Structure 1
Amino acid sequence: MKIWIRSLGASLRMLVVATVVLGVAYPLIGLAAGLALPHQAEGSLITVNGKVIGSSLLGQDFAGDGWFHGRPSASNYDGLASGGSNLGPNNPALVAAIADRIAKVAAREGVAPARVPADAVTASASGLDPQISLAYAELQVPRVAAQRGMSEAAVRALVAHATTGRALGVLGEPAVNVVTLNAALAGRQ
C-alpha cells in the first residue's frame, strides 16, 4: 500500500508540473514569440496605390517579362493546397519538368542552361515561398530593366531593398522577396 501511495504522489506532482509547463508556460512563450514577430504588428499585406496586391508571406505567379518570377509552385500558389509534388528526384515526370523549366528560363533570360539556378526550376516544400535566391534575381535584372525602360542599377537597387539577410545572422542564405520586389516595381508605374 505504501508504494501505491508514493506512486500516486509522484504521479500527482508530475501532473502539476506538466500542467504548469505545457499548459501555462509553453502557451505563454508561444504567445510572446508571436507578438514579437514583425508581421504581427504591421501585417503581411502589401498595398500599392491603396490596393492590396498580395502578401509578403505567400508567393504568387507574375506573368509577363516586366516582372520578376518566383519559384515554380506544385499547387499553383493556392494557399489551400500548400505542398510539394511529392515526386522523388529520380521520378521521370519531375526530371522532365525540371529539364523543361531549365530550357524555358534559359530562353527567357537569354543565358546558357547551366547558368539557371536550382530555385528557378524547383518548387519549395510548401509551393508558396515568396523568396528566390540572389543568383536568380540577378539573372532576371537585365530582362526586367529592359522591359521597364529602367537602368539595371535602378533595378538592382530595388532587388537590394527586397533582400532579406540570414535568419539570426547565420541560418540560411540571403533571399529576395519577389512579391515585395514586384510591388516596388508596380509602385514605379
Structure 2
Amino acid sequence: MDRMPSWVRQHLAALRALLVLTVITGIIYPLLATGVAQALFNDNANGSLVQKDGKTVGSALIGQSFTDADGNPVRTYFQSRPSAAGDGYDPTSTAASNLGPEDVIDTLPNPGGADEAAKEGKQSLLTQVCARSKAVGELEGVSGARPYCTTDGVGAVLKVFPDRAVSVNQACPATPFIATYEGLKVGCAQPGQDYAAGKTVPIRGNVTTVQVPADAVTASGSGLDPHVSVAYAELQAPRVAKERGLSLEQVKALIDEHTSGRALGFMGEPAVNVLELNLALDGA
C-alpha cells in the first residue's frame, strides 16, 4: 500500500495536536482551576456575593447606587461614590470617563441644535465635579464650595477676548459669577455660540476649605469601586443617624467595623464598604 502523501500526514498531525491541546486547555485546565478556586477561595470565586434574608443583594467587590426611582439619594443610606460605568456600576461597561483636568468647558444645551447631542449638551469634568459637590453639600448640610466652581455648581471658567469676557459654563440669562475681569465686562454664554477663539481662564475663587471629599465627586478608574473614604463616610454619618433615629456614636461605630485598612499595611488608604455598612445599619 502506498504511503500517505506528506501533506496529508502533516494535516493529521496538526489535527491530533489541536484535539489534544483543546482537551488540555479547554476542558482539563478550566475544570482544575475551577475546582481549586471552589475548594480554596469559594466566596471570592463566586463573586463575593452578599446575602440578606436568603437573597443576593449585591457583591462586596462591586459598588451600587442607593437612590430612589427618580435617582435621588435615599437619605437613610450611606451613598456610594459616582460611577462612569454604563448607567452606574455596570460590570459589563466598566470604565472611567477618560476626562482630564483640562476638560473645563461645557457644551451648553442648545434647543436649536442639529442633533440630539447638541440639544442635550455635555458637561465638562470640572462642571460634573462642581455639580456633585454642590449636591453633596446640600444633602449633608455642609458647604459644597470648591476652587474653580461657581455657587450655582458649574465650572468657573472665562473665555477672554480683547473687548469682553464670557462665563462659558453659565448659559444666559444666568448672572455671571464675576461682573468684570481685568477691566472687561463678563457676560453669560449664548448656547450654540463658538467661543473657541477666546483665551481660556479658570478662576480659582476664594475657597480655602473644601468640606466635600474628592471621592464624593469623582468616579473610580473602574467605575465599580464599592468603597468610600473614611472622610466621606463620616461626612454622611450625621444625616444617616438622624434619619434612622440612631446616635451618632452608634453610626460611627458601624463605620469603624466596616473599615478595611491599607493593603499589605502600607498601600492606599483605609476604606469603607458601603453595601456592607448599609446592611449593618438595616440590622442595627
TM-score scaled by structure 2? 0.52
Matched letter for residue 262 of structure 2: R
Per residue, is there more strand in 1 or in 2?
2
Structure 2: gaps (5+ residues) = 1-28, 68-73, 105-123, 145-209
Matched letter for residue 143 of structure 2: A
Aligned pair 1:172/2:268, yes or no?
yes
1:141-180 equivalence runs, <5 A: 141-180=237-276
Q: How many aligned residue pairs are there?
A: 160
2:233 corresponds to which residue?
137
Aligned pair 1:65/2:75, yes or no?
yes
Task: Give the root-mean-square deviation of aligned CA atoms.
Answer: 2.2
Aligned pair 1:182/2:282, yes or no?
no
What is the CA distance between 1:51 and its match in structure 2?
1.6
Secondary structure at 1:139 match in 2: helix
Give the direction of change, closer, same or farther, for the CA distance of 1:164–1:80 in structure 2 (3 Å limit). Answer: same
Aligned mates of 1:122, 1:34 — CA distance in 2: 35
Give the counterpart of 1:84 among 96, 114, 118. 96
> What CA deviation, in whole Å up to 9, does each residue of 1:114-169 have, x standing for no partner?
20000000000001100110000000000000011111111111111110001111
1:10 corresponds to which residue?
none
Give the direction of change, closer, same or farther, for the CA distance of 1:38–1:131 in structure 2 (3 Å limit). Answer: farther
* Structure 1 runs (4+) greater than 6 angstroms displaced: 31-36
Structure 1: gaps (5+ residues) = 1-26
Mapped contact 1:44–1:57 kept (Cα < 8 A): yes
Larger radius of gyration: 2
Moved more, 97-106 or 38-47: 38-47
TM-score scaled by structure 1? 0.77
Greater RCO, CA 8 A, separation 6+: 1
Report sequence identity in percent. 50
1:121 corresponds to which residue?
217
